[in-house]
Amino acid sequence: MDQLKDRILQEASIMNNEVLKLDGLLNHQVDPELTVDMGKEFARLFAESGITKVITVESSGIPVAFTTALSLGVPLVFARRKKTLIADPDAYTERVPSFTKGIVTDIMVSRQFLQADDTVLFIDDIIANGDAARGLIKIIERSGAKLAGVGIVVEKAFQAGARTIREQGIRVESLVRIASLEDGVIRFES
């Protein structure tokens, strides 16, 4: 998405060789029109996949997952980050390390909102090592639902996350792929 590449070049700042600050676009401020266009693009890519539900992880994935769900005409479910250690028998839970925060959090989805007859599209903002995605994929697998694919706004292609998920045979579509952040320059894959 060229429009998104332009906005990343305008809004993003490079924290170090691995981390891009995208507060102006994804993680703090959101551009509604651009987010609608991103949702339409994911909906176009997965139009033939029979999606019954879009799923994401709170919080930064929610705006683009919402516009994708709106374009597909299906509900959005967001996995919640749990703060309690009490096991909930009515929920699927996975422990995931957080790339940016350096801590471990539990994500949970109520069994009520993810069922074996669902075909789900998982949408997220950024993929790095893929821990968050793998956690949610495990939850989807345990529910018996079918995972149609993964839609990522920004894939940091120099980290292993998206590649390892593709190697599992899962379709991963990224709106923008970043090849490198080295030397203070954002380089996109063509």
Q: Residues within the annotated binding site?
A: 20, 27, 128-132, 156
* Distance, CA of 129 to CA of 149 (rounded, Å): 17
137 lies in the site for ligand 5GP, by CB under 6 A: no
Candidates 5, 7, 27, 106: give the one binding ligand 5GP (CB under 6 A): 27
* 3 state SS for 110-126: EHHHCCCCCEEEEEEEE
Contacts to ligand 5GP from residues 47-76, by CB under 6 A? 60
Provide the CB-side half-sphere exposure for 19 (13 A, CA).
10
* Distance, CA of 38 to CA of 181 (rounded, Å): 23
- In this structure, are residues 14 and 181 in contact, taking their beta carbons and an 8 Å threshold? yes
99 lies in the site for ligand 5GP, by CB under 6 A: yes
Residue placing its CB nearer to ligand 5GP in the complex, 52 or 158: 158
132 lies in the site for ligand 5GP, by CB under 6 A: yes
178 lies in the site for ligand 5GP, by CB under 6 A: no
3-class secondary structure, 182: helix
Q: Report the interface residues with ligand 5GP, using CB under 6 A.
A: 19-22, 27, 60, 99-100, 124-133, 156, 161
